[in-house]
Amino acid sequence: MRRAPLAVAVATMLALIAGGAAPSAARTVSPAKHPAAHTTALPASRDASRPWVPADGVRATHPGGNTIGTQVREAKPRSDGYRHIDTPRLIKKLKALHVNTFYYTVWDEPTDWPDLVNEFAPAAQRAGILVWVGLAPPSECFPNKDAHLAGRCSRPYETDFLTWAKQVANLSMKYPNVVAWAIDDFLIGDNAKLFTHDYLTQMRQITKAINPKLGLYTIAYYDTAVDPSFYDKYGDVIDGVVYPYLGHDNNTNDASAVSENLNKILPLANAKKLSVVLLDYSGRELDSTLAPTARYVNDILNVGMRYTRQHKIDGVISYGTQLTGQNLIDPSQGPRQGDGRLALTVQAHVGTKTGDYAEASQEVTVDPKSPRYELSWWQRDPYYGGLGGYHFMQVLIDDQVVWQSDVTNWFSFMWVNGSDTQGPVDVTQFVKGKKQVKIAFRLYEKQGVGDYYVDATFDDLSSIGLGIKDPGFEDPSAWTISGNSQHVNATVFVYHRDEPTRIFRTVARQFARQ
């Protein structure tokens, strides 16, 4: 899926360095010996026109790229020096997740394709699990004749998708549970130069000549998925699109637009008789400032599974669901203490306008007997650099700014009280003589900017003479979220240490529902 800006820059540099090495042959490695297992019948198809879609819809997980905790591999390398897919353990995890389909990504290791052919495909067939083969586009393929310069790629055939078409189709004839294949980031960057209509026509002719029932999907982000020209160009050479939901602005925290976005996509796809599968981010998406939570995933799946049961879409793919059970989390996502913090964010690749803001506020009582009034908080943001003058953190009382600071004014990733050595703020002049005041914590755009992501956060409030409820931002219901832009967001972000396990259980519960 989509890579972070830094990752893209590094990838581009490596691609320029890389030589045009020919695809290497798949090395032959003796597969691990596994005991015979009970065979489970494959799911029945939804209808004859889409034989790759199970009757109850696609319920899949996708390990993703540059995700964490999703690779179920053997503990030790085999004789070839690679840690192969641990097929028995992966099958158990998929069963526990209640999937009927696994999006098998051929990208991380040169052994991924042989593992699929020799071990996973037959084991998944015995387990009654369908398989989609996921391939990386040219933008995510970094071959080089020098091993230490080579990066990930779908090997052994790399970007020769005509050969991939033949090989995947042949595999699907050997193992009927291999029902579809998909190409990631289909039109991102220069990928469209390869994936012309003529090239897709050749791919389709190859696969359909071998297996007319094999489906082909492409990833279509929102702007592509609502563009009529995309369907006019590719509608007759693909079988469907996978739509990755990213809210209004590249985030993985706001599930409010799932129905709205699908309702805009479906008429265009339906007009070309294309299948639509929703992808939700259950693990990190590298351009999003905040990691997904179980609550967010549940909200998306509530809509996605309902649309699937209503036959509006053909299913849901849960992307990046951690399968290892290790609860691997990014420490930068966490609060100063407890589980919650106020996150004020602007996403990557999103523009803002001067005066845009988002805030969390609440009405607090003022103690008339207090000799003075003080407000204290801790704040942090990950930005380190000299690009000041845009994002400002503010504290307001009754809509009057009592404190503000540019996000560049303190050390990156360090929690500070007030600003640097400032500490608590005396707010007596703003509250004295009042019975109640509104306090607000805001991110304000002093200047609009085209692409400048930030995750500025407040936590651990304390006060003298003010009755603040939920000072640790543990309860979203204690705060009123408001703003004037979809591109500047305020979130009472509650992220538990075992959030990946909570997400796994959420996906499993949703997929188990009939």
For residue 312, give Cα distances in angstroms to 57, 103, 254, 278, 307.
10, 21, 22, 11, 5
Q: Can you tell me whether residue 109 is helix, strand or coil?
A: coil
Which residue do the tokens 């994002």 mark? 391
Best CA proximity match to 168, nearest among 187, 149, 154, 153? 154
- pTM of this prediction? 0.90
Q: Model confidence over 445-479: pLDDT tens digits?
A: 999 999 998 999 999 999 999 999 999 999 999 99
- 163 within 8 A of 115, measured Cβ to Cβ: no
Which residue do the tokens 């007030």 mark? 418
**Mean pLDDT for all residues in the chain:** 91
Tell me, which fold does domain 5-330+499-512 have in CATH?
A: TIM Barrel (3.20.20)
Q: Model confidence over 99-124: pLDDT tens digits?
A: 999 999 999 999 999 999 999 999 99
CATH pick for 335-494 out of 1.10.3470, 2.40.128, 3.40.50, 2.60.120: 2.60.120
Domain 5-330+499-512 and domain 335-494 have a common topology: no
d(CA 63, CA 61): 7
Q: Give the DSSP per-residue string, 381-416.
A: ----SS--SSEEEEEEETTEEEEEEEGGGS-TT--E
pLDDT (0 to 100) of residue 458? 96
Q: How many CB atoms lie within 10 A of CB 326?
A: 11
Best CA proximity match to 225, nearest among 181, 182, 275? 275
- State which amino acid sits at residue 283: G
d(CA 106, CA 217): 15
Q: Model confidence over 285-317: pLDDT tens digits?
A: 888 999 999 999 999 999 999 999 999 999 999
Q: Which has more pLDDT, 22 or 77?
A: 77
pLDDT (0 to 100) of residue 41? 93
Confidence of residue 420 (pLDDT cuts 50, 70, 90): low
Burial, 128: exposed, middle or buried (Cβ in 10 Å; 0-12, 13-18, 19+)?
A: middle
- For the chain, the domains span 5-330+499-512, 335-494
pLDDT (0 to 100) of residue 386? 74
Q: How many CB atoms lie within 10 A of CB 169?
A: 21
Which residue do the tokens 């992966």 mark? 90
- State which amino acid sits at residue 463: S
d(CA 60, CA 100): 6
The tokens for 177 are 């549970």
